[in-house]
Structure 1
């Protein structure tokens, strides 16, 4: 069919004048998500971290030992360090001060030449300038050469030249900024969330003091860890029975790269390994993590064979065996980190793999030789894991085989959808057969599949892999999703791009939901990281009058609705504790209809914190679980009694 060119006159008007060239500040303000990820609270916190990273760079250069972050009552944030202070003299290329160059120009800074900073977390050089562009106002004080200099900005634009405002007895930089309310959804900082990340930074830089204050709440926390990442491992394992008392610590500088590793085994079954490059949390790993894992497997196999824990004809331990119950931190500090993407989620330097492998392999082998009792406890745990893995191998192979679409062998109780394109498909994991029946009746069969679950699934935090894979409900979930589990999980084979947990609004429902979240976090974390896991929000109440019916999803909403209906003659309030109490039509209308439902996306903001919470709540140790519940009891919103 020929296209009528006259029907789209605007297409012919596309000329060179339509090409927009945005300067650094305009580009940041127009597309903030490209630089800080989002404009929600996550992006807001990112502003704080970008400024703090500059302070950390000074600390890694040996020029700073104290950082103070102050959340002010007016919503502004002040970050102060005792580093060298940003230079204020005229920059030879830009013709303006070095300070203004750093604060207004993307990819400007002292981090590229390798002389001022041997290592740096702020590779891209956009931190300070991005924060400046996204702030309604920013004020900076520089203490340098015995003087205090000051400059102010509004939305990234300088409001005058640098001025000298007094003498200085020390050196450093103080930046106060107020995030622009025209850009961010809401300007409000989470003290607890910030403190977790700052604690992490303090662990990674032993001897650095980081203080966080909140003037509005009159709260203050100071972090200082002389033990560095060894203390970090102890912190992560604080609620777990450990196999050896002291964490293993390895540190060496090789080819100008500082390699640090700390590891300790516990009696659990989950791996808790976190990797960092120049203090940046590389949540997707990279070459340093690959090198660490290779060295760990090789060193433990060498020791096991050499000391007759494994016979010559017995197979080697594999990665899964040596990482079960492992808590580890791997940290590298290097001059030219190659991060993948602005979010720096993965380290790409190929040469780092062999460096880390060599340092960790040598250090771990030496430790095992010098500490035979610890070595025996570690090797025995690894061999036990290997036996459990072998016991689970047939079950695992069967599940992976059944997960293939070619076999067509899906769980018998799965009510599948007719749509075959995963991007359009949803799988509801539904508590109980009665609710499963209502969901099957009420669903849209074209794109919604239903998998009813019988009772509570296994707590995988306490179970070895062979026991987990023999559990019928877990097998059904794995088979239905079709993507495998653990290291064999393949996101491209996922049969449904929305996996929705739908449980009752009572204690049992909350417990089942927690068990499911534990399973997905420990064995299908990519499902969460890629935004495929959701929680359905069924209503708590139905409020009905003669002429009016309303579904209510929270206690405050119920009180508000009843207040509006106080003039009504008869108000009927029905509490829904179970999904099975609703008809198929009601379940569709309130919880499953994409046009009217509410879904919560499951995401992981702080992996180390999530790891700690799951191990505390779902692990074997009772005292820490009791302490956690007591500490958080007041924050419970819906309590079913």
Structure 2
């Protein structure tokens, strides 16, 4: 086959500047763009990169306070009181990739931003960006617009040493963006817990922790722990954990101050160390599953050359740290148990209960699997998608796949007819799922629908086996739909809490109203949107048009042709998030538990009557 070379010559070869490359391929540097409605959206990565630099100063012993402000327009300012960027290099440090002091381990031993990209990405993806540094009575400042240098100044100034970064994210890159205060505050608390003694001020609100990861664990547990937490801290390793009566295990892991939501080698070594430490103390050979069930743990390590499995640093890949972490954790755990035998007895008793439950479940599992095989080789309620990229070998190019959980055949029919069969799967519930609040794990295997859902997700053995990137609750926008959604959330929070914690569960938002004339149709997601759309389509004066308004009571009422636009690229999803694990039991017992005077009072005070 002869391919012409006439159109492929020297003129087609392009060399992009450092910042042009970031603007052209932002996903390589910040993972995703977004508008701020998801805690992993790019604007939070920009904020993180700047605060990380200030944290690095604190880690190196320079500056114990950081001032952060975010105004209503989304303009961010981060002022640290560290050593200050060397004045002759401030332009290069924020605009030239592979320029920075973090390659020099004499200056930064335990820095996250070892790739020399952080503030360059912030600069490239901001409408306006200003850097100012103060060092020993002198200052230098540089102002950029869309990554291009506009002005540079130097002079004398007796302000305290340190660096101020100010930026306004680009509305071209992040259209309609908004910083969610809850997401930002959550990040600030994590910084505080990871850096005991550091004071962070966010618009005058102080974030401070005296006891580091122990404070984080206490916040997550709020008294749900069965015994006094085991806590250990030395120069490069800090951890704390305790058992609760819940199912599964939950961890908050960090490397050099960065939250590794997908864990990595440090987490697997942490688990192994806990197991070995407990077995050494007890003189037993407990299996990992029995030890892990019910654990809530926090772990932070500092290493000189972290290797992450993605640009956004969600998973650590360094294998050489395994033996160090395993041995340190093992010795610390066995030592702590010898010192506190009362807590040790409670911990061993919890593990023995886990072991008993596991053995009781073996026959139930065997029976459930045999029954499932008799019914069908495939899961009857599941219309699967074809695309299931390997979680272990994912690349930036891999697309996301998703599972819609729907109620009834009519709703499932609309989605099945209009979905993308490559990436969108549908699981159809036969009726209202069971309320599993307070139920034992055996109930999961005895209930056909819940067992089928667990099989469809492939999460029986581990959450890491999950076959979908997003699990979407697609219920009707009525009272029954809300009840089914709450029952499903109860199922996930009760049996598979990490799925929610890691951000895999979403709620599908569909229009409640269709407002239209012969010329135009507007779909509305609230009463306010409906009124606005009606005014717009009616027009004013003598030329007022007749407007037809339809209320969709269920997903099945939306035709497949219409439905297709709601599950395409502009799909509206709301991520289910947790403020802390301690809130789970309180919220579930209030909404899904037995009727109480408090709940009756809440319902009566919040009733809404519609004509």
Question: 1:326 pairs with 291, 295, 307, which one?
Answer: 295
CA 1:32/1:426 → structure 2, altered by over 3 Å: closer, same or farther?
A: closer
SS of structure 2 residue aligned to 1:211: strand
Tell me the secondary structure at the aligned position of residue 609 of structure 1. coil
> Among residues 377, 385, 398, which one is paired with 1:409 in the alignment?
377
For the 8 Å contact 2:248–2:496, the answer to whether it is kept is: no
Partner of 2:167: 177
Match of 2:394 in 1: none
- Cα pair distance change 1:544/1:21, threshold 3 Å: closer
Indicate how the Cα distance of structure 1 residues 545 and 401 shifts in structure 2: closer, same or farther if over 3 A, else same.
Answer: same
Q: Which moved more, 1:36-45 or 1:360-369?
A: 36-45
**Deviation at residue 354 of structure 1 after TM alignment:** 1.2
Which of residues 436, 445, 457 is equivalent to 2:409? 436
Q: 1:348 to 1:425 in 2, by over 3 A?
A: closer
Say which SS state the counterpart of residue 158 (structure 1) adopts: strand
Cα distance in 2 between the residues matched to 1:180 and 1:497: 28
Instruction: Identify the residue that residue 247 of structure 1 maps to in structure 2.
Output: 229
Q: Tell me if 1:147 matches 2:141.
A: no
Following TM superposition, by how much is the alpha carbon of 1:293 offset from its aligned partner in structure 2, in angstroms? 0.1
Match of 1:510 among 455, 459, 482: 482
Shift of 1:236: 0.7
Contact 1:403/1:482 (<8 A) preserved: no
- Is 1:457 the counterpart of 2:420? The answer is no
Question: Which position in structure 2 is the counterpart of 1:60?
Answer: 59
CA distance in 1, matches of 2:96, 2:518: 64
Which residue does the alignment assign to 2:214?
230
Residue aligning to 2:447: 471
Question: Is structure 2 residue 271 aligned with structure 1 residue 293?
Answer: yes
- Any stretches of 5+ residues in structure 1 without a counterpart? 89-96, 214-219, 307-315
What corresponds to 1:121 in structure 2?
112
Taking the aligned partners of 1:527 and 1:233, their CA distance within structure 2 comes to 18
Residue deviations 1:434-459, cap 9 Å, x none? x4256448953995755223223344
Q: How many residues align?
A: 582
1:20 to 5, 9, 14: 14
**SS of residue matched to 1:350:** coil
Query: Residue 214 of structure 2 aligns to a residue in which SS?
Result: helix
Aligned CA-pair RMSD = 4.1
Structure 1's 544 and 136: CA in aligned 2 closer, same or farther, altered over 3 A?
Answer: closer
Structure 2: distance between partners of 1:471 and 1:538: 29
Query: Aligned partners of 1:75, 1:420: CA distance in 2, in Å?
Result: 40
Q: Tell which deviates more after alignment, 172-181 or 279-288.
A: 172-181
| Residue of structure 2 in register with 1:618 after alignment | 588
Distance 1:299 1:60 in 2: 30
Q: Which residue of 1 is the match for residue 47 of structure 2?
A: 48
**What SS is found at the alignment partner of 2:6?**
helix
Q: Displacement, 1:543?
A: 6.1
Counterpart residue number, 2:397: none
Q: Is the 8 A contact 2:435 2:592 kept in 1?
A: no
C-alpha change, 1:527 and 1:18, in structure 2 (3 Å) is: farther
Cα separation, partners in 2 of 1:639 and 1:325, compared to 1, 3 Å: farther
Give 1:93's aligned residue: none
TM-score for both structures, normalised by structure 1: 0.79
**Cα offsets for 1:407-435 (capped at 9, x unmatched):** 943455x3757x8666999865332xxx4
1:343 aligns with 2:318: no
Change (3 A) 1:155 1:98: same
Q: C-alpha separation between the residues in 1 aligned to 2:283 and 2:105?
A: 44
Aligned partners of 2:84 and 2:161 also within 8 Å: yes
| 1:464 Cα deviation after fit | 3.9
Aligned partners of 1:233 and 1:262 also within 8 Å: yes
Structure 1, residues 542-584: CA drift from partner, whole Å, max 9, x if none? 66899999764322232234444599899886655555xx55x
Q: Is the 1:70–1:212 contact (alpha carbons within 8 Å) kept by the matching residues of 2?
A: yes
Counterparts in 2 of 1:453 and 1:408: CA distance versus 1, 3 Å = closer
TM superposition shift of 1:285:
0.8
- Shift in alpha-carbon separation, 1:463–1:378, aligned structure 2, 3 A: farther
- The reply on whether 1:556 has 2:525 as its aligned counterpart is no
Distance 2:387 2:137 in 1: 67
- Residue ranges of structure 2 left out of the alignment (5+ in a row): 390-399
- The 3-state SS of whatever aligns with 1:159 is strand
Counterpart check, 1:282 vs 2:255? no
Shift of 1:601: 4.2
When normalised by structure 2's length, the TM-score is 0.82
Shift of 1:32: 1.9
The structural deviation recorded for 1:60 is 0.8
1:552-591 pair list within 5 angstroms: 552-563=524-535, 564=537, 575-578=551-554, 586=558, 588-591=560-563
Aligned counterpart, 1:163: 154
**Contact conserved, 1:285 with 1:345, CA < 8 A, in 2?**
yes
Contact (CA 8 Å) 1:439, 1:588: kept in 2 or not?
A: no
How far apart are residue 234 of structure 1 and its match? 0.5
Distance 1:440 1:622 in 2: 29
Paired with 1:445 and 1:27, the residues of 2 have a C-alpha distance of 37
How much has 1:516 moved relative to structure 2?
Answer: 2.4
